[in-house]
Chains A and B, each alone.
Chain A
Amino acid sequence: MVTINPDMCKGCGICIRFCPAGVLEFSDEFNSKGYHPPRAVRPEACTGCDLCGIYCPDFAIFGILLKTVA
């Protein structure tokens, strides 16, 4: 499961580009800093691998294995 803190995002697109499951897309909305944060367009495909979390230079996104959540 992926969690996004849109207001932390600086819109670099790295999470979107490198998510192995193609979960993310830029959102049309602007965040408070004027960037387009990502949004999960295919949340069901998320494996919780947290690659987005490690890549994100702004600590704005992370993935967790649903197993761990439960």
Chain B
Amino acid sequence: MVNNNPVSDLLRTDRMPHIWCSGCGLGTTVNCFVRAAAGCGLPPDQITVVSGIGCTGRVAGYLKLDSFHTTHGRPIPFATGLKLANPRLKVVVYSGDGDLFAIGGNHFIHAARRNMDMTVICVNNFTYGMTGGQVTPTTPTGAIASTAPYGNTEDPFNLPYLADSAGAVYVARWTTFHVRQATKAMKEAIQKKGFSFVELVSPCPTLYGRRNRMGDGLDMMEGYKENSTIRNGADTRDVGMDISGKIVCGKFVDRERPSFLEQYNTRLAARLGPSYKNYEGVL
């Protein structure tokens, strides 16, 4: 049915309709991603997507690219191995806030520290959708979740600040309302050498929006429109989100640092001398 859609070449149309709820922002992020992938200048065969587990974890299975649906929290180390075996691949990790920052948080900071050449896209909907709306490390303090029935009593991560402090060379945040900017950010992130991070704030109307009186997907999109401000270059310390729903969007970090492999080859060549051949993959 979607065969005539201009982006259907990058979608597994044989698997549509997808499992996501009506008004869920995930499909919108995929729309942005396929447009970014199509426009980034790389042949699709060179782009590989790795997902973890959860509603966002299903993204890999809907993209007509080499795609891996891995274990919960571990797409980043899988992507690390994949990238190092074949550095010609552009490896994109596409997963959710619970997967990447609760169970997978350690891998995130280490990949950023190493400046491992990959793009991490986090769809942040503030909850575990697949398992029924539990609290995550990004759930705002006070927000209701199935495992925080009296409101979240913990403080959330400010993801751009975390990525920035851990060493990411590109950090941006947009919402699913900002589709043009989100597409551009994903394209820039894909083209960036090193560890790039894009946070996409996205509605989970079924399990987060409804519980927190934010309405359905459309109402949540209206909320993003009303409550977001764009501040490119903002200090990431100042972009944390809270229960008020205010969202600072923009490109916050875009800097240069030698990637893992650049640093690796430089150091080994210096130590091992002319006998050392730059590592460019196992093949």
Contact = CB atoms under 8 A, between A and B. Distances in A.
Interface in B20-37: 20-28, 31-32, 35
Contact of A12 (B1, B183, B218): B218
B180 interface: yes
Contacts, number: 81
Interface residues of B, number: 32
Nearest to A51: B179
B131 interface: no
Given A8-B16, A12-B23, A14-B23, A56 B1 contact: no
Contacts of A18: 221
Interface residues of A, number: 25
B11 interface: yes
A64 B222 CA distance: 25
Q: Is the interface of A mostly helix, strand, loop or mixed?
A: loop
A50 B34 CA distance: 14
Interface of A: 3, 5, 7-8, 10-14, 17-18, 33, 35, 50-51, 53-60, 62, 64
Q: Which 10 A-B pairs have the closest CB atoms?
A: A57-B27, A10-B22, A12-B23, A54-B179, A59-B2, A13-B218, A54-B31, A12-B217, A5-B1, A57-B28
20 contacts: A3-B4, A3-B5, A10-B21, A12-B217, A13-B218, A14-B28, A14-B218, A35-B22, A50-B6, A53-B31, A54-B28, A54-B179, A56-B28, A57-B22, A57-B25, A57-B26, A58-B17, A58-B20, A62-B5, A62-B7
